[in-house]
């Protein structure tokens, strides 16, 4: 199990303290922003922990299975250099060759569908991706 970050643990103690004082989640988040500035825990995390402490939780330690959405977001966007378009994550910067390939594949698909309407019935969907007769090149 990965050790807790000290600043995150400290913020949870501050949230727990505010709950014991009867502060609401919005005020708690504002106080944390004032105290920690740019390194403040995200709003959703503050509200989530506030709700847990208000519901009677005593421990400030994360459960091993908890996934912090902000961390996943940072990895996908900063480390993997991807961004969200609709519901898919795609590379931010495509090479000219990749752009040309996407355009030609799209045009080919439109031509196939226009030439034979039954082609549309043969499409297979998988995780919201459209794939047509995928034949790997030798």
pLDDT digits (tens, 9 = 90+) for 82-124: 766 655 555 567 788 888 888 888 888 888 888 887 776 666 5
Closest C-alpha among 63, 60, 47, 62 to residue 16: 60
Q: What pLDDT was estimated at residue 134?
A: 47
Task: Name the one residue in this structure whose structure tokens are 């643990």.
Answer: 9
Helix (H) / strand (E) element for 109: namely: helix 96-115
Residues 23 and 43 in one domain: yes
Residues 80 and 112 in one domain: no
* pLDDT tens-digit map of 62-78: 776 666 777 777 777 78
Residues 87 and 127 in one domain: no
Domain count across the chain: 3
The verdict on residue 136 lying in a domain is no
Is residue 45 predicted with pLDDT exceeding 70? yes
Global pTM? Answer: 0.46
Q: Are 49 and 15 in contact (CB under 8 A)?
A: yes
Domain of 70, in residue numbers: 65-92
The verdict on residue 102 lying in a domain is yes
Closest C-alpha among 55, 28, 57 to residue 42: 28
Residues 39 and 21 in one domain: yes
């Amino acid at each position: 199990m990965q050790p807790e970050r000290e600043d995150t643990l400290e913020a949870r103690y501050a949230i727990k303290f505010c709950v014991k004082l009867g502060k609401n989640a919005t005020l708690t988040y504002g106080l944390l922003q004032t105290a920690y500035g740019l390194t403040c825990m995200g709003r959703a995390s503050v509200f989530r922990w506030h709700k847990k402490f208000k519901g009677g939780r005593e421990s400030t330690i994360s459960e091993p299975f908890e996934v912090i959405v902000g961390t996943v977001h940072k990895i996908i966007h900063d480390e993997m250099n991807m961004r969200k378009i609709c519901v898919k994550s795609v590379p931010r910067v495509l090479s000219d060759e990749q752009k040309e390939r996407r355009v030609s594949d799209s045009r080919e698909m439109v031509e196939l569908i226009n030439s034979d309407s039954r082609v549309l019935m043969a499409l297979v969907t998988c995780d919201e991706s459209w794939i047509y007769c995928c034949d790997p090149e030798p």
